[in-house]
Structure 1
Amino acid sequence: MPVISAPAALPRSRHRWVAVAGLLMLSPISAEYLIGYSDSTNRPLELLAGLLILAPLYGTVAVLIREITRRTGRGWPTILLLSAAFGVIQAGLIDQTLFHHEINPDDPDWATQALVTLIPGLGVDAASLLNYVGGHVIWSFAAPIAVIESCAPRIADRRWLGPVGVGVMVALWALGAALIFSDTSADSTAGPAQLIGAAVVAIALIAAAFTVRPARTQSQAKAPSWWLVGGVTGVAWCASQLLPATWVGVAVNVVAMVVLGWLLVRWSRRRGWGRRHVLAAAGSALVVRAGLSFLVEPLGGNVEGMVKYAVNAAMLGGVAVLLLMAAHRLRRQEPSAC
């Protein structure tokens, strides 16, 4: 049984609370707003008001996943597995979108495509499973955690919350989850077996998160340029978003994600791998998400083109500024990094 050292003392309140607030906001923005599908895209005040629900639903989970991982001395495998678990909880138990297949003829074409990848006996669409759960792993939790930690590299490996802070995050998440569940459960078609199955999968992922640990062995090969890491991951994120919702598309998507995961694991064990590489992988995910928003038609189809493109451009510009700030802070913290 590995020995886990006691967590270091909390950093200064101002630094850690700025980091917590940043993650609380970036998580829901990355999850819901960057891609530009919301019918409130042309109403900035409504988007801001939406964060009152989305920050407790997504942001608190991102904060708690990061907090649990850093407190227990674990790494990215734990973050990714916990992200997958909460992705299943969100899409399978809270809003239950995994089991909701009703088509609305008033929505854009991308939201009314026939489900051709339904898994027999489960009532789950494979393409939707990758989109919802995979989307939560990458854009709701993992990428925002990596970017915000890069913005605060001096406290990236330390805990940010005390017991009261953790309790507040849990309470806010429970409140947000209850509001969404009460709003969507009446329209849900999920059966008891499906809900139990989702709960079992989530529990298994959580158990795996506390079993797996990052490898300690390091290769003597040199890590690739962080520009190369960003380019490769960016192509993979783009493909995952643009592949068609068919069995061929699902298969290619799965293979691409497996190959990307294998590459990142190998690269992360090489000499010289650092936070800049992690930022490159996470930052490319945000850039792709914001960039593809220009191709997405918002739900309802009643958003004016110029307003939509202005909001898309503002989101992309905000991502660029945030990533530049994170890279600058990492450069100051790691002046000798590649």
Structure 2
Amino acid sequence: MTLVILLIISLCIGIGAWIVILYYHTNAWYARKRRHKLKSLSITLLLCMIAVTLVGCDFSNEVDNEHDIFNSISRQTFENDSYRFYIDESDVENIRPVFEDKETGEIKNLMRSPFSSLTSIENYIYGNGSLVYYMKMDYDKSGFYKETNRLSLIEVDTTTFDEKIIYEKNANMTKDTFLGLHTTDDIDFLGITSFFVDKRYIYFVVDDNQIRRINRLTGKEDTIIQTSVFNNIAYNGRYIYYPNEAYQVIKYDIQTEKEMTIPDIITTQFFLTDSELLYINRQDNYSIYAMNLSDSNIRKITNKPAWSITGDDDFIYYKSKIDNELYRIDRDGQNEMLINEDNE
């Protein structure tokens, strides 16, 4: 799409140059003919400008299809073509991100270097393509107490497993206040419940009621979304989806910074995929529905009432309100199967 825009712009510049040359090098004997040509070329140039505008508008409305979907309800896991990443909480004293090789089944630590007893890993991760992110807190020890000292957001390139810090911040509010650095605009890092990242910004979900973003180039922080509570949040590279106080789903455009309420959906739980918004319909006995992201058509998937839902390319997983068990169904609502230790 970018190449098409550049070609159109180049064509228009060429036409403009042709007009200038024609204007200065055509003699007066052809003045009347030149005026006719200039009029035609001016119309052509105008049409080119309109085409560029329309193409640009179409481009600005596109979702980044190369961006993996983030759902806060599954913030402890991420999969790409080669690996499955997740937070291992089997040892509460050693919570850490690990990954499973899909081909061999081998499980390894995502962090290549060991960390000290004064470092803790937060129990959520984020991934997009070959890049996986995790957050760690470093502490200072004062007597018998530990004080939060520094927050670091780490990016791991899983093609090489090289790490780099993309964001670091002094998280000790006592020290900041003493130095006169802490303001009400600073993020309370102890209240972060999940995060996601794109090329320009880092987005922190704080205290489950606001989303704050940080410019990766300048470090500027601001609040873009504030509500009473987030049951879950989703992001697809262009839009952030979140529920409001009336159980409606709000769609926030990160480019225009405008938001809209998605009509006809009342829910407390939803899950975003590449093509659909899956949700539990509070207006229909908590049945599972899906809204097509392209045309907003809504379809019912199953009559079974559910507490929560997640999904992948092939299946929908839901926890039943009837027996509190986890079930798996096809994306069309067929072939329901109970998920337990024997068939996980």
Tell me the TM-score normalized by structure 1.
0.22
TM-score, length basis structure 2: 0.22
| Greater C-alpha Rg | 2
Greater relative contact order (CA < 8 Å, ≥ 6 in sequence):
1
